[in-house]
Chain A
Amino acid sequence: MGLQEELNRLKNGIEAQAPKEFVEIMHRATADLEKSGILDGTVKVGDQAPDFSLQNADGQVFSLKDLLSHGPVVLSFYRGKW
């Protein structure tokens, strides 16, 4: 099973258990976000990626510039543990 299939199963399971009004609020928020035009303002293929210096879990600093000196970088924005 692919990742998205698994996520869909999880989502359906959560939505089956959560109160109906919670699910409605979640769906509306997603629809509003899609309509907000946020996707028009994101970085695009062909753009220069803005540099960064951020800390890992131990406080060690990583910059995009340094990472790129070793090869291409795959960057994934992730919301969190929950």
Chain B
Amino acid sequence: MELDALKKAAGEFKALGATFIAISPQLQTYNRELREKKKLTFEILSDPGNQLAQLYGLKFQLPEDLREVYLKLDIDLPKYNGDDSWTLPLPTSLIIDQNGIIQHGAINADYTVRPDPEETLAALKKIVG
């Protein structure tokens, strides 16, 4: 669902001269599966062990009781991510200008609240405008 919204937004980012890139800790094979299933037009890059997320201050570890819940719901993070760190990135959207400076950021601690691509798009229009 979120990816469908991002797919739509990615075309609009491109029209404004920007590149949309998704970053996920999951193994390449799952990113490939996702790309094919959703016919994605943007790149999903693998961030093994959430090392880049850590560099951006976005990495967090799931508590023990939540890990058990995830396993019961068949969300096997060690399988998907290829490591047993039980870490994830905070859902985040950033706009980086050509000098490498972050010009806009939407970061949530609540994973059920995702950055709205429409808001990111509005911010990008102001930045490139």
A binds B: yes
By a beta-carbon cutoff of 8 Å, the part of chain A in contact with chain B is 2-4, 6-8, 10-11, 18, 22, 25-26, 29-30, 32-34, 36, 38-39, 41-52, 54-59, 62, 64-65, 67-82
* Residues on B with beta carbons closer than 8 Å to the beta carbon of A33: 60, 109-110
Q: What are the 10 closest A-B residue pairs judged by CB atoms, nearest first? A: A57-B32, A42-B57, A54-B45, A77-B89, A80-B26, A77-B92, A71-B17, A34-B109, A72-B18, A57-B31
Q: Are B33 and A79 in contact (CB-based, < 8 A)?
A: no
Q: Are A7 and B94 in contact (CB-based, < 8 A)?
A: no
Mind listing 6 A-B residue pairs with CB under 8 Å? A22-B73, A30-B112, A44-B102, A57-B32, A75-B95, A77-B24
Q: Are A26 and B24 in contact (CB-based, < 8 A)?
A: no
Q: A47-B102, A62-B43 are in contact. List 20 more A-B contacts (CB 8 A).
A: A3-B1, A4-B114, A25-B65, A26-B69, A33-B60, A34-B110, A38-B57, A38-B109, A42-B90, A43-B102, A55-B28, A64-B96, A68-B98, A72-B128, A73-B21, A73-B95, A76-B92, A77-B89, A77-B90, A81-B26
* Residues on B with beta carbons closer than 8 Å to the beta carbon of A71: 17-19, 98
Q: Are B65 and A81 in contact (CB-based, < 8 A)?
A: no
Given contacts A30-B111, A73-B96, A74-B94, contact A82 B102 (CB under 8 A): no
Q: Are B56 and A77 in contact (CB-based, < 8 A)?
A: yes
Given contacts A4-B114, A45-B103, contact A79 B109 (CB under 8 A): no
Whether B122 is near chain A, meaning CB under 8 Å from some CB there, is no
Cα A35 to Cα B89 with chains together (Å): 16
Given contacts A34-B110, A52-B52, contact A42 B58 (CB under 8 A): yes
Q: Are A78 and B22 in contact (CB-based, < 8 A)?
A: yes
- B19, B31, B62, B103: the one contacting A56 at CB < 8 Å is B31
